[in-house]
Amino acid sequence: MTATPFESALAVADAVRRGERTARSVVEAALEAVAKRDPELHAFLHVAADEARAAADAVDDALRVGRDPGPLAGVPVALKDNLCTRGIPTTCASRILAGWRPPYDATVVVRLRDAGAIVVGKTNLDEFAMGSSTENSCVGPTRHPMDPTRVPGGSSGGSAAAVGAGLVPLALGSDTGGSVRQPAALCGTVGMKPTYGLVSRYGLVAFASSLDQIGPFARSVADAALLLEVIAGHDPLDSTSLDRPVPPVSRSLDAGVEGVRVGLVDELVGDAAPDVARRVREAAEALTKAGAVVEEVAVPEMRLGLSAYYLIAPAEASSNLARYDGVRYGLRVDAPDVAAMNVATRTAGFGPEVKRRIMLGTYALSAGYYDAYYGKAQRVRTLIVQAFDRAYERFDVLLGATAPSTAFAVGERTADPLTMYMSDVCTIPSNLAGHPAMSVPFGAGDDGLPVGVQVLAPALGEVRMFQVAAALERAAKARWG
């Protein structure tokens, strides 16, 4: 990770609450960092400078009268631009939503503000979160913070690059098939997908509703834990929200891993490049040295995840994106009649990858093909869930690669969708199962770019997952500094 004006989110919040720094000075440092680096990186689609300064002043005013602004007091946060922000553009990096300003905030945005965090802007993404490189954005790609000739991953590449470059200490993304964890791995940050339903999806512009989850990016496991505790919890506005207490993940970070059962997943090592696989095995060795019981395990059903996902996710996208019709909001291309207007609007408004997935999903749901494709994919999804259940009878967590390679070159995979889709082969199974998983930086590949190691856990297993992630982080710091 690159140099940053922020030690950590925890340190920033502590300094602001103690009066050692003002929230306004912290926000100015973030805005200065964005102004300096973002012309090269293109991590942000919109910088909410005026709103951020006003929010920072409100935090400082609260402190002056003795009121605690919250656990993220004065901490700058970036939001993926598929999270609704009242009065601030939310475009999903798509022409079809150009200029749209939602009349409401996503639940996670409300919770961030209630915790004293300062939203500094909206980050770039693959259009409607469909992609693995942030090259599908209608306004151009985001660049890798360490090597601008490489991609930052996707679809939450803007958020990953913003944190990896030190522009902000925290960011939010969405993870439908790996879109938080994969870019976190490529950019050398911590990235985490919660259990499905642990974090409200209200105000997240839907891609695939049974798979989408909002998750944190951070520069440390402790910062990610704090951010998760802020945004998680039951929300009556989301019918899929779990009515469960928020897991106290921060309490587990110093517990160590003595006796923890860790399964090193063959498929999540064998599908990775040799330099990535080497780092994963070194991570397993570090956990063994720290007292964990590590054994190899085969979960062959994981290899079915990619084909099942690319039927289920496009099918749900086909349904969700039908609302963009040129009538209610967003782009409208006039035509002689309504049907022609719908076609013209969608033709002009959606990019090639979104159109590809809508057509694939519509075909999979069509009469005569539903059972052969979508129905079969759902049965495969059940097989994957059952395979995970068997693995978690033996192990507390599973371990593997987050991404099969380090960051690849801009333009390298855009002409080959299947190769691009393979970027998510290690992350997709957790989305299909609804389980939590997170990526922790663990050294670098042969090209000097970051490698992420993935820790997977059963549903609502976040506490143990963060416990293991913290141990990996300590091992990485001891080895590489």
Q: Is residue 316 part of a domain?
A: no
Nearest-angstrom CA–CA distance, 273 and 420: 15
Helix/strand/coil percent split, the chain, to 5:
45, 15, 40
Task: Please name which of 188, 150, 194 lies closest in space to residue 175, comparing C-alpha atoms.
Answer: 194
Here the CATH number for the domain that contains residue 65 is: 3.90.1300.10
Buried b (16+ CB within 10 A) or exposed e, 19-41: eebbbbebbbbbbebbeebbeeb
Name the 3-class secondary structure at 380: helix
Entry field: residues in the chain: 481
Global model pTM greater than 0.85: yes
Q: From the CB of residue 431, how many other CB atoms can be counted at a distance below 10 Å?
A: 29
Nearest-angstrom CA–CA distance, 451 and 177: 18
Between the CA atoms of 469, 472, 478 and 480, what dihedral angle is there, to the nearest 10 degrees?
-100
Q: Is residue 471 part of a domain?
A: no
Residue with tokens 């911590």: 190
Name the 3-class secondary structure at 172: strand
Separation of CA 90 from chain center? 17
Q: Is residue 183 part of a domain?
A: yes
pLDDT of residue 2: 55
Nearest-angstrom CA–CA distance, 76 and 167: 9
Residue 197 backbone dihedrals phi, psi, to 5 degrees = 95, -10
Nearest-angstrom CA–CA distance, 266 and 206: 33
Separation of CA 147 from chain center? 21
pLDDT of residue 245: 95
Nearest-angstrom CA–CA distance, 32 and 35: 5
- Is the CA virtual torsion 31, 410, 351, 356 positive or negative? negative
Task: Please name which of 50, 56, 47, 65 lies closest in space to residue 24, comparing C-alpha atoms.
Answer: 56
Nearest-angstrom CA–CA distance, 98 and 464: 42
Name, in order, each residue with C-beta under 8 angstroms of 279's C-beta and a sequence gap of 6 or more: 442, 443, 444, 445, 451, 453
Residue with tokens 């951070």: 218
Instruction: State the total domains in the chain.
Output: 1
Q: Which two tokens stand for residue 301?
A: 């059903």
Q: Is residue 325 part of a domain?
A: no
397 contacts 458 by C-beta, under 8 angstroms: no
Q: Is residue 396 part of a domain?
A: no
Q: Is residue 190 part of a domain?
A: yes
* Domain that residue 76 falls in: 9-252
Q: Is residue 95 part of a domain?
A: yes
How many CA atoms lie less than 13 Å away from 256 in the CB half-sphere?
8
Nearest-angstrom CA–CA distance, 228 and 217: 10
pLDDT tens for each residue of the chain, 481 residues long: 555 667 799 999 999 999 999 999 999 999 999 999 999 999 999 999 999 999 999 999 999 999 999 999 999 999 999 999 999 999 999 999 999 999 999 999 999 999 999 999 999 999 999 999 999 999 999 999 999 999 999 999 999 999 999 999 999 999 999 999 999 999 999 999 999 999 999 999 999 999 999 999 999 999 999 999 999 999 999 999 999 999 999 999 999 999 999 999 999 999 999 999 999 999 999 999 999 999 999 999 999 999 999 999 999 999 999 999 999 888 999 999 999 999 999 999 999 999 999 999 999 999 889 999 999 999 999 999 999 999 999 999 999 999 999 999 999 999 999 999 999 999 999 999 999 999 999 999 999 999 999 999 999 999 999 999 999 999 999 999 8
Active site residues: 80, 155, 179
Q: Is residue 246 part of a domain?
A: yes
199 contacts 192 by C-beta, under 8 angstroms: no
Q: From the CB of residue 348, how many other CB atoms can be counted at a distance below 10 Å?
A: 13
Residue 180 backbone dihedrals phi, psi, to 5 degrees = -100, -50
